[in-house]
Amino acid sequence: MNLSKNAEGARRGPGLSLDALRHWWAGAPGWARWVVYLLLIVVGVLLPSESIGSFMAPSGADWPSMLSSQIAIYVLLALGLNVVVGMAGLLDLGYVAFYAVGGYTIAIFATKYDWSFWQTLVLAIAFSALAGVILGAPTLRLRGDYLAIVTLGFGEIVKKTANNSSYVNGPRGVQGIPHPPTLSEFEIGGVQPLKYGLLDSRPYYYLLLAFIIVAIIFVRRLDKSRVGRAWASIREDEDAAELMGVPTFKFKLAAFAIGAAIGGSGGVVFASQQTSITPPNFDFLVSALILAGVVLGGSGNIPGVMLGAFVVAWLPERFRGLQDYRMLIFGAVLVLMMIFRPEGLWPSRQRKAELAEGTGGMGGLGAEVPGPGQAEAAAEVGK
Amino acid sequence: MLLEIRDIHVHYGKIAALKGITASVDEGEIVTLIGANGAGKTTTLKTISGLRSLTRGSIEFDGRDISKMPGHKRVLAGIGQSPEGRGIFPGMSVEENLLMGAFSRKDDASKELAEAYELFPRLAERKTQAGGTMSGGEQQMLAIGRALMAKPKVLLLDEPSMGLAPMLVQQIFSIIQEINRRGTTVLLVEQNAQQALQIAHRAYVLETGRVVKSAPASRLLDDPEVRAAYLGGELGEAAASPAAAPAPVDAPDPGATVTDAPASGAAPEGSEEDASS
């Protein structure tokens, strides 16, 4: 992955630059930012409406359920994976494992021990963060491609374990997962946003929207803090970060745990909406698509990865009419993106600078190619 | 002794990179490690700063054994390093890079920031520029300035002259002397032996993972073997006095063996230096 980067990395594709917008945003007063945030939330709330759906969804498809069972989940997962890949620069190809841990936590505790949705949510977040630590502790000593391979394996292990464990019914999966309890019956504009049932998928969308907003606030505050600076330094040059006194291992582990926790919360909502989960729900393809969303959108930049995840989840559904060709076209779009806009649709400025420089560009998204002075690192990993 | 390394062995897999290096740095000194490629200079520095773990031996710093201490804690103990290849954070601005240097500090670092800008006025002009877009010399200044932000007791410099124009090399070396004058001990690793020996108090010559010579720097400058191997001695002396021409490479010395390989490798570099100065 890294081999071509030095040559290609600095090439600027003909794409629109967002510098003017960024510039305005950097200088915008506090109230203007709040107005934008509020407008975005309003757009988020109105998104499932018919008028938007008639364009966004192919005819015959249910737009709110597309939103809740696919798009919003992907956006939430992308926010979580962005912590690992975009901020700390660790390539994780098994992110779906944490999504599965969340899903199976609610499946087991709600069907076997009658825990409520909210109790299992807390437990699932704790369990998936723990899974992140368990995966991270032995593997985060590896770098680049080596880490990617181990995480890929972890994703498969979780799926295979679920598939072969009679405790969770193996390949038949777990059925009868309860919906979240209805919080209130109040109705607004024809929706009962807090009544979770089988018929209306909009309440699940609003639940996910709330999760997404909480995740954005949490991740953004981290990014602007000392933790975010530590992650950026690890992503750009891990050895140099250690020399600056950054406890790199601890911060990498924290990134894994936080990313995993967000993924786990997505799994809980998914399971309780579907009411049944099976191991194929947690296929490698999900990891790959979410990673594609993160990279496509502009890894490291929160609005970027949300846009990327939205596109990745929405595009194949929207063009379902093209049948199997849609995946071909989707693949071609991804390839074209990597050629003309390798930094993503909406990259952060810092990421762009890293990519232009050519060595630290994708953080852990690539092998440590032994260049001058790096041969030792490769030799060390190879032992 | 501020820093004392005793018989350290470091392995990459099964390959031994260091085969028992013993060296020490006293407070206020500039000590340099010179040697050809693969001699183990960079590995020695990385082992001192904690990026590599040692298989045998010990490192004592400021009266404490730090052999097992993780790298980020050694920064707090007082070891600062400007790494090989400079290790600038490319996406961060100059100022952000400098502030990363103070990451481990809990107190206010504005005094050190001002000092870094005073030492390197060039950095002050480029505060907001991304680190990755700067020239090699500026990046080197940034790497040194960043290492100083943590107020280290000893500053480890890994080939600060690598890839720089001769004029910049001069400038960097005079800044290193200035840093030392202000009270920071310096351990300098260099391939540019001529320059390093001129500013250092003491020097160690490394060869394939072992110390083959240690002496005051001025004495090594006159040492025929060192001149032949690392300073382009023959060429330099031939120009000065043709009488001193006999090749010192074959001169037997019980203390050290100088192989031909580093001699031929280092000679052009040294002669280039002579031409430029």
Spatial distance between the Cα atoms of A20 and B257, rounded to a whole number of angstroms: 64
Alpha helices in chain A (DSSP H): 5-8, 19-27, 30-46, 50-56, 63-66, 72-82, 96-112, 117-139, 144-164, 202-223, 226-236, 238-243, 248-274, 284-297, 302-318, 325-340, 349-357, 375-381
DSSP A49: S
**Separation between Cα atoms, residue B44 and residue B189, nearest integer Å:** 9
pTM over 0.90: no
Per-residue model confidence (pLDDT) at position A85? 93
Average pLDDT over residues B187-211: 92
Query: Which residues between 313 and 372 in chain A have a beta carbon less than 8 angstroms from any beta carbon of chain B?
Result: 350-354, 356-357, 359-361, 372
User: Closest by alpha carbon to A70, among A292, A372, A383, A289?
Assistant: A289
Query: For the stretch A250-261, what's the b/e string if a residue is b when 16 or more beta carbons lie within 10 angstroms of its beta carbon?
Result: ebbbbbbbbbbb
Question: Is residue B188 within 8 Å of B160, Cβ to Cβ?
Answer: yes
Nearest to B89 among A240, A245, A380 (CB): A240
Using CB atoms within 10 A of its CB, is residue A262 exposed (0-12), middle (13-18) or buried (19+)?
A: buried
Query: Is residue A135 packed enough to be buried (19+ CB in 10 Å), middle (13-18) or exposed (0-12)?
Result: buried
DSSP category for residue A346: S
Which residue from A minimizes the CA distance to B81? Answer: A243
Tell me which H or E stretch contains B273: helix B260-276
Which residues of chain B have a CB within 8 Å of the CB of A352? 91
What pLDDT does A329 receive? 83
Contact residues, chain B, for A234 at CB < 8 Å:
none
DSSP string, A195-234: ---SS--HHHHHHHHHHHHHHHHHHHHHHTSHHHHHHHHH
CA distance B223 to B233: 10
- Residue A340 makes CB contacts below 8 A (sequence gap 6+) with A13, A14, A15
Reported as a pLDDT band with limits 50, 70 and 90, residue B1 is confident
Residues A379 and A368: their CA atoms lie apart, in Å, by 11
Q: Where are the domains of chain A?
A: 71-361
Q: Write down the pLDDT at residue A250.
A: 95
Residue written as tokens 């001193």?
Answer: B244
Other C-beta atoms lying within 10 Å of the C-beta of residue A13: 12
Q: Which domain holds residue B15?
A: 3-220
CB of A223 less than 8 A from some CB of B: no
> A242 and B89: CB-CB below 8 Å?
no
Structure tokens at B228: 């032949």
* DSSP reduced 3-state for B12: strand
Q: How far is B237 from chain A (nearest CA, A)?
A: 33
> Are both B71 and B128 inside the same structural domain?
yes
Residue B258 and residue B161 share a domain = no
In the numeric block, which tokens belong to residue A324?
Answer: 């199997």
Beta-carbon separation of B87 and A357 below 8 A: no
Say whether B132 and A240 touch across the interface (CB within 8 A). no
Q: Report the residue of chain B nearest A377, measured CA to CA.
A: B12
Say what the ipTM of the complex is. Answer: 0.80
CB contact under 8 A, B92 and A350: yes
Q: What is the mean pLDDT of residues B219-229?
A: 86
| Coil/strand/helix, residue B13 | coil
Residues B201 and B236 occupy one common structural domain: no
User: Which residues partner with B61 through β-bridges?
Assistant: B3, B64
- Rg (chain A; Cα; Å): 21
A356–B12 C-beta distance less than 8 A: no
- Cα–Cα nearest to B79, from B59, B95, B94: B59
Burial (Cβ within 10 Å: 0-12, 13-18, ≥19) of residue A181: exposed
From residue B122, give the alpha-carbon distance in Å to each of A303, B94, B116, B117, B160: 35, 10, 10, 8, 17
pLDDT of residue A358: 56
Kindly give the confidence (pLDDT) of every residue in chain A, 383 residues in length, as a single tens digit, with 9 standing for 90 and above.
343 334 333 444 445 667 777 788 878 788 888 898 999 999 988 888 888 888 888 877 788 888 888 899 999 999 999 999 999 999 999 999 999 999 999 999 999 999 999 999 999 999 999 999 999 999 988 887 889 999 999 999 999 999 999 998 889 999 989 888 887 778 777 777 777 877 788 899 999 999 999 999 999 999 999 999 999 999 999 999 999 999 999 999 999 999 999 999 999 999 999 999 999 999 999 999 999 999 989 888 999 999 999 999 988 888 877 777 877 888 888 888 888 888 888 888 787 777 776 544 343 343 333 333 333 433 443 33
CA atoms of B162 and B170, how far apart (whole Å): 12
What CATH fold (topology level) applies to the domain A71-361? ABC transporter involved in vitamin B12 uptake, BtuC (1.10.3470)
Residues B38, B95 within the same domain: yes
A373 and B85 within 8 Å at the Cβ level: the answer is yes
Q: Which of the residue ranges B65-79, B170-184, B223-237 would you say has the lowest mean pLDDT?
A: B223-237
Tokens in use for A247?
Answer: 């406890």
Q: Does A379 touch chain B (CB under 8 A)?
A: yes
Q: How large is the average pLDDT for residues B18-32?
A: 94
Nearest alpha carbon to residue B238 among B253, B251, B248, B250: B248
Helix (H, G, I), strand (E, B) or coil at A141: coil
Say which of A229, A246, A360 has its CB closest to residue B90: A360
Q: What's the pLDDT at A49?
A: 83
CB B204 within 8 A of CB B220: no
Nearest to B12 among A230, A242, A380 (CB): A380
- For residues B103 and B215, membership in a common domain is answered with yes
Contacts of B42 in chain A (CB under 8 A): 373
Residue at token pair 């368990």: A134
- Residues of B with Cβ-Cβ distance to A353 under 8 angstroms: 90-91, 130, 132-133
Q: What is the pLDDT of residue B233?
A: 61
Q: What is the pLDDT of residue A240?
A: 93
| B204 and B177 assigned to the same domain | yes
Cα–Cα distance, A88 to A98 (Å, whole number): 17
- Partners of residue A239 in chain B, C-beta under 8 Å: 51, 83, 87
pLDDT at A13: 43
pLDDT of residue A320: 76
Residues B196 and B258 in one domain: no
Same domain, B107 and B170: yes
C-alpha A162/C-alpha B106 separation (Å) is 47
Residues of chain B whose C-beta is under 8 A from some C-beta in A?
A: 12-15, 17, 42-43, 49-52, 70-73, 75-76, 80-81, 83-85, 87-92, 96, 100-101, 103-105, 130, 132-133, 146-147, 150
Of the candidates A68, A86, A83, A74, the one whose C-alpha atom is nearest the C-alpha of residue A348 is A86
Residues B142 and B228 in one domain: no
Partner-chain residue, chosen from B42, B43, B71, that has the shortest CB–CB distance to A243: B71
Q: Look at residue A368 in the predicted model and tell me its pLDDT.
A: 38
Among the residue ranges A74-78, B127-131, B223-227, the one predicted with the least confidence is: B223-227
Q: Are residues B126 and B255 in the same domain?
A: no
Q: Do B12 and A379 touch (CB under 8 A)?
A: yes
DSSP calls for A170-199: GGG-B--PPPPPP-----BTTB-TT---SS
pLDDT tens sequence across B202-221: 999 999 999 999 999 999 88
Question: Which DSSP string do the residues of A7-44 spell out, in sequence order?
Answer: HHTTPPPS----HHHHHHHHH--HHHHHHHHHHHHHHH
What is the pLDDT at residue A17? 66
Closest to A235 in 3D by CA, of A259, A260, A252, A258: A252
Please, which residues 179-218 of chain A have a Cβ atom closer than 8 Å to chain B? none
As a whole number of angstroms, the distance between CA B247 and CA B237 comes to 10
Residues B61 and B139 in one domain: yes
Query: Domain tally for chain B?
Result: 2
Nearest CA in chain A to B156: A243
Q: How far is residue A77's CA from residue A75's CA, in Å, rounded to a whole number? A: 5
Q: How many CA atoms within 13 Å lie on the side-chain side of B160?
A: 30
Q: List the structure tokens of A134.
A: 């368990």
Nearest neighbour of B87 by CB, restricted to A239, A246, A383: A239
- Sequence-ordered strand ranges (E) for chain B: 3-12, 15-25, 30-35, 56-61, 64-65, 79-82, 154-158, 185-190, 202-207, 210-216
- Among residues B220, B242, B258, the one where a domain terminates is B220
Q: How large is the average pLDDT for residues B190-196?
A: 89
Contact B12 A372 (CB under 8 A): no
Of the partner residues B75, B85, B132, the one whose CB lies closest to the CB of residue A243: B75
How many interchain CB pairs under 8 A, A with B?
Answer: 111
The domain spanning residue B17 has which CATH number? 3.40.50.300
- How far apart are alpha carbons A231 and A354 in whole angstroms? 14
d(CA A291, CA A64): 24
Do A242 and B146 make contact, defined as CB atoms within 8 angstroms?
Answer: no
Residue A148 burial class via C-beta count within 10 angstroms: exposed 0-12, middle 13-18, buried 19 and up: buried
